[in-house]
């Protein structure tokens, strides 16, 4: 639904120099780590006794997340007594979300709008998270006359520009992403275009893509197609019509190699069907921060390590892909915080295959043998959680926090 022109947009800029000075000091106090900075300055390596920590060159908060957190903190400074709401979570990290809750910033549901949205009024402030929000949510907030602080990352908006362009040209967007992820939902809402007549299909796996391409080349049951992609395609999607012109875009945090493979397969199928690639468009919309973190992990994996810890929120897409990269090479554990490390042998972690938190045993490490632990983290993980992880590893090897700080 297009935004009514008569509605007054009430977006507010909370980034005044005086506010930002205070906010940045607060954010640094909550999330920065002197130990992590020290290890970074040493080329990512810290060895004490026979224990070595290796950090990836790039990990943790990206520019989009830093900006979103700054803006959320600034909102409370600028509006000390207003009710402040947030559509869903600012980013996928429980620690950060806890801090915002403590500032009385109330999270609203992001999948469906409920009565809380009807209760909003013009004195309320609504923060839009770094992932963005679907157009229907933005329209609702605007129709309630709320003050809006929009923290949508510029890289996400670049994807919106691409899919809107596809819709304008009558091209169906194939969006590589998770249908139930905030960013992909926001992107999908833009893929129907300004007039709402465009179409999209969300694919997550190579199997999804192969299913689509098999239909594209050989036809099949449209009902079976719609059943498979229920909740992951535009309203009225007809595979007999809407696979004619295809454009591929992706959620900004997907695995680069997989997105490239999807692009390759779609292009190949279109050339096979049409004899040329004129009906295929592609824009790589993986963001720079995701790419850097994946590349940095590939570099880290060139070193010999006993195990890899990936720190982050379990619902974080970019963190999940770091785990996928790591687990192909060595024992890899996806942990939400240092508390998950019961011992170096027993680590509570999120198992991507079982889709649940499990307690698992890695190899036995004797105190006399040297050990190398690799650490990385997704774009939504603050440095203080990495610091806790470093301290915990050394503690389990008999080195106390003081010794680590003064090393
Ligand atoms: S991961 Fe990328 S798209 Fe998402 S907030 Fe960070 S920089 Fe922006």
130 lines ligand 1 (CB under 6 A): yes
Provide the pLDDT confidence category of residue 2 given band limits of 50, 70 and 90: very low
Distance of alpha carbon 268 from alpha carbon 272, whole angstroms: 6
Least confident segment among 22-36, 334-348, 352-366 = 352-366
Residue nearest to atom 7 of ligand 1 (CA): 64
Provide the pLDDT confidence category of residue 6 given band limits of 50, 70 and 90: very low
Nearest to 130 by CA among 156, 147, 114, 151: 151
380 lines ligand 1 (CB under 6 A): no
156 lines ligand 1 (CB under 6 A): yes
381 lines ligand 1 (CB under 6 A): no
Provide the pLDDT confidence category of residue 3 given band limits of 50, 70 and 90: very low
Residue 5 has pLDDT above 70, yes or no: no
Residue 4 has pLDDT above 60, yes or no: no
253 lines ligand 1 (CB under 6 A): yes
What is the Å distance from ligand 1's center to 374 Cα?
Answer: 23
What is the Å distance from ligand 1's center to 366 Cα?
Answer: 40
What is the Å distance from ligand 1's center to 291 Cα?
Answer: 10
Residue 349 has pLDDT above 80, yes or no: yes
Task: Identify whether the C-beta of residue 380 lies closer than 8 Å to the C-beta of residue 313.
Answer: yes
Provide the pLDDT confidence category of residue 43 given band limits of 50, 70 and 90: very high
Residue 366 has pLDDT above 80, yes or no: no
Q: Which long-range contacts (CB under 8 A, 24 or more apart) does 65-70 make?
A: 65/91, 65/130, 65/153, 65/379, 65/380, 66/27, 67/130, 67/151, 67/153, 68/129, 68/130, 68/151, 68/153, 69/27, 69/31, 69/96, 70/15, 70/20, 70/23, 70/24, 70/27
- pLDDT for 8: 54
- pLDDT for 12: 86
Residue 228 has pLDDT above 80, yes or no: yes
Provide the pLDDT confidence category of residue 39 given band limits of 50, 70 and 90: very high
Residue nearest to atom 2 of ligand 1 (CA): 287
What is the Å distance from ligand 1's center to 329 Cα?
Answer: 26
Q: Which CATH class is domain 155-282?
A: alpha beta
Distance of alpha carbon 21 from alpha carbon 284, whole angstroms: 36
- pLDDT for 231: 95
What is the Å distance from ligand 1's center to 68 Cα?
Answer: 10
Fold of 63-152: Rossmann fold (3.40.50)
Residue 68 CA: which ligand 1 atom is closest?
A: 5
Residue 279 has pLDDT above 90, yes or no: yes
Question: What is the reported pTM?
Answer: 0.89
- pLDDT for 330: 95
Choose the residue to mutate in 89, 90, 130, 152 for probing ligand 1, maximizing ligand atoms within 8 Å of C-beta.
130
- pLDDT for 341: 93
Each residue's pLDDT tens digit, 287-333: 989 999 999 999 999 999 999 999 999 988 899 999 999 999 999 99
Q: What percent of the chain has pLDDT over 90?
A: 85
Provide the pLDDT confidence category of residue 1 given band limits of 50, 70 and 90: very low
Sign of the torsion formed by the C-alpha atoms of 42, 48, 53 and 59: negative
Q: Average per-residue pLDDT in the chain?
A: 93
Provide the pLDDT confidence category of residue 364 given band limits of 50, 70 and 90: low
Q: 31-62+289-406 is classed in which CATH architecture?
A: 3-Layer(aba) Sandwich (3.40)
Residue 284 has pLDDT above 80, yes or no: no
186 lines ligand 1 (CB under 6 A): no
Task: Identify whether the C-beta of residue 308 lies closer than 8 Å to the C-beta of residue 324.
Answer: no
What is the Å distance from ligand 1's center to 229 Cα?
Answer: 26
Mean pLDDT of 19-38: 92
Q: Which residues are catalytic?
A: 183
Tokens of 398: 């008999």
Between strands 332-335 and 307-311, the pairing is parallel
Residue with tokens 């389990």: 396
Nearest to 349 by CA among 319, 383, 372, 394: 319
* Residue spans of beta strands (DSSP E) within 177-230: 200-203
Residue 72 has pLDDT above 90, yes or no: yes
Each residue's pLDDT tens digit, 241-251: 999 999 999 99
63 lines ligand 1 (CB under 6 A): yes
Each residue's pLDDT tens digit, 84-143: 999 999 988 888 999 999 999 999 999 999 999 999 999 999 999 999 999 999 999 999
Distance of alpha carbon 149 from alpha carbon 397, whole angstroms: 46
Q: In what order do the strands lie in the sheet with 307-311?
A: 45-48, 51-55, 371-377, 307-311, 332-335
Domain map (residue ranges) of the chain: 31-62+289-406, 63-152, 155-282
Mean pLDDT of 13-40: 91
Say whether 155-282 and 31-62+289-406 share the same fold. Answer: yes
Each residue's pLDDT tens digit, 177-202: 999 999 999 999 999 999 999 999 99
Distance of alpha carbon 107 from alpha carbon 89, whole angstroms: 6
Provide the pLDDT confidence category of residue 368 given band limits of 50, 70 and 90: confident
């Amino acid at each position: 639904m297009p935004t009514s022109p008569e509605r007054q947009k009430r977006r507010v800029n909370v980034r005044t120099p005086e506010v930002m000075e205070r906010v940045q000091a607060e954010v640094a106090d909550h999330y920065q780590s002197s130990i992590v900075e020290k290890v970074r300055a040493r080329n990512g390596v810290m060895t004490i006794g026979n224990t070595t920590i290796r950090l990836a060159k790039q990990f943790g908060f990206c520019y989009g997340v830093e900006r979103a957190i700054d803006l959320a903190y600034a909102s409370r400074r600028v509006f000390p007594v207003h009710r402040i709401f947030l559509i869903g979570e600012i980013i996928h990290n429980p620690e950060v979300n806890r801090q915002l809750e403590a500032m009385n910033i109330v999270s609203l549901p992001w999948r469906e709008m409920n009565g809380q949205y009807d209760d909003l009024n013009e004195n309320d402030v609504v923060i839009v998270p770094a992932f963005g929000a679907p157009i229907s949510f933005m329209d609702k907030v605007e129709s309630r006359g709320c003050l809006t602080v929009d923290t949508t990352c510029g890289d996400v908006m670049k994807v919106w520009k691409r899919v809107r362009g596809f819709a304008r040209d009558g091209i169906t967007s194939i969006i590589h992403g998770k249908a139930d992820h905030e960013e992909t939902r926001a992107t999908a809402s833009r893929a129907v275009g300004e007039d709402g007549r465009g179409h999209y299909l969300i694919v997550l796996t190579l199997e999804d893509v192969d299913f689509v391409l098999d239909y594209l080349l050989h036809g099949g049951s449209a009902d079976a197609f719609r059943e498979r992609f229920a909740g992951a395609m535009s309203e009225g999607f007809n595979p007999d019509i809407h696979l004619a012109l295809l454009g591929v875009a992706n959620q900004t945090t997907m695995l680069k190699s997989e997105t490239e493979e999807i692009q390759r397969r779609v292009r190949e199928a279109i050339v096979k069907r049409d004899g040329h690639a004129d009906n295929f468009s592609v824009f790589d919309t993986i963001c720079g921060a995701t790419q850097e973190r994946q590349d940095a992990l590939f570099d880290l994996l060139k070193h010999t390590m006993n195990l890899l810890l990936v720190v982050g929120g379990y619902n974080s897409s970019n963190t999940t892909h770091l785990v996928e990269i790591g687990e192909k090479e060595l024992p890899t554990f996806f942990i939400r915080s240092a508390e998950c490390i019961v011992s170096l042998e027993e680590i509570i972690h999120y198992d991507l295959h079982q889709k649940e938190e499990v307690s698992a045993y890695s190899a036995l490490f004797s105190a006399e043998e040297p050990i190398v632990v690799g650490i990385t983290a997704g774009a939504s993980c603050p440095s203080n959680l990495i610091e806790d992880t470093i301290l915990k590893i050394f503690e389990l090897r008999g080195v106390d926090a003081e010794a680590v700080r003064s090393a």
